[in-house]
Amino acid sequence: MPAFWTESDFDDHEAVQVVRHRASGLTAIFAIHSTHLGPAAGGTRFWHYPDPALAMRDALRLSRGMSYKNAMADLPMGGGKAVILADETRTKTPAMLDAFGDAIEALGGRYVTAEDVGISEADMVAVARRTSYVSGLPTHGSPGGSAGGDPGPFTAMGIYHGIKAAVRHKLGRDSMAGVHVAVQGTGSVGGGVARLLARDGARLTLADIHHDRAAALAAELGATQVAADDVLDTRCDVFSPNALGAILDDSGVGRIEAPIVAGGANNQLARPEHGAALAARGILYAPDYVINAGGIISVTLEYLARCQGSHCDVDEVNRRLKQIPERLAEIWRQSESSGVSPDAVADRMAQAKIGR
């Protein structure tokens, strides 16, 4: 693995740590991008990387994205990310989660984690036995109006609000009825987005590398299913990427057959220049870390409430989710007035908030 500070995605990170616990088999990367606004907050990703350098790249990009996401959501948290390098069989053991929790505890509160790809609510419960710097925990025994637990549904709700804002801004339509949305990824977030859109009468095309999962959801919602490799070529009103990132590269940008890109995947743009490439094609882009902030809003408010010995109010979470369209609209207004692509406008706004 090359020195992390030579990586193109190293962005003056405050700390990058590789933890190896031989007895449990844990190998993890902690990337703390900024603590300017508060403790670095960001989920833990459990994923198999064929090359460890790809894991480092992911950690660096995701942690920077969390700094921007938390800042743009007006949360008193900095940005960080943890990546656990899974083996090919994605073996996850209690001992590994214990060692991971101990590593978080050793950071002394500088980093707070929650669920991300490959990590469940049950995994967070296990990690919480070793450290208190965890959120996304179940709300059993809490008042009915409390938020907490799996952040996926809140992420999906924020994306849903953002898609509606994009359709209103680009297409001039206040209703999603009949709007054709191609959803890439039908897991917790993408599936949640699809269900919310279906409720509003949107026409859906679904795709997932897990064919059976997409097929089951398509049958449930009366949607069309296409192969995972073909979804970018689907002619539609909105392309909504909700799987892994970096899909908008030279090829991906050229293949899109939609006037809007709005979805929850992190780091959708393979490189910064791809945001300008989307704009050059007249495609409206919803910056990922703005539209997908619902989950971190939920887990941050849950964590802060627990630190104060109280419960997170779901009404407050929902109030903040409804601010996502307002932020997107302001980004698009500034983009149109300045000629700068929406991703670059959002980056500048976020950097100003974190003092960079």
Q: What amino acid positions are annotated as catalytic residues?
A: 81
The distance of Cα 219 from the centroid of its chain, to the nearest Å, equals 26
- Rounded distance between C-alpha atoms, residue 261 and residue 196, angstroms: 17
Q: What is the DSSP letter of 147?
A: -
Helix (H) or strand (E) holding 297: helix 294-307
- Number of Cβ within 10 Å of residue 348's Cβ equals 15
Dump strand ranges (E) for the chain: 15-21, 26-34, 40-41, 44-47, 78-85, 111-112, 180-184, 203-207, 224-225, 238-241, 260-261, 284-285
- Rounded distance between C-alpha atoms, residue 74 and residue 305, angstroms: 16
CB 16 within 8 Å of CB 31 = yes
How many H helices and E strands in the chain?
A: 13, 12
| β-bridge pairing 26-34 and 78-85 | antiparallel
Rounded CA Rg of the chain: 19
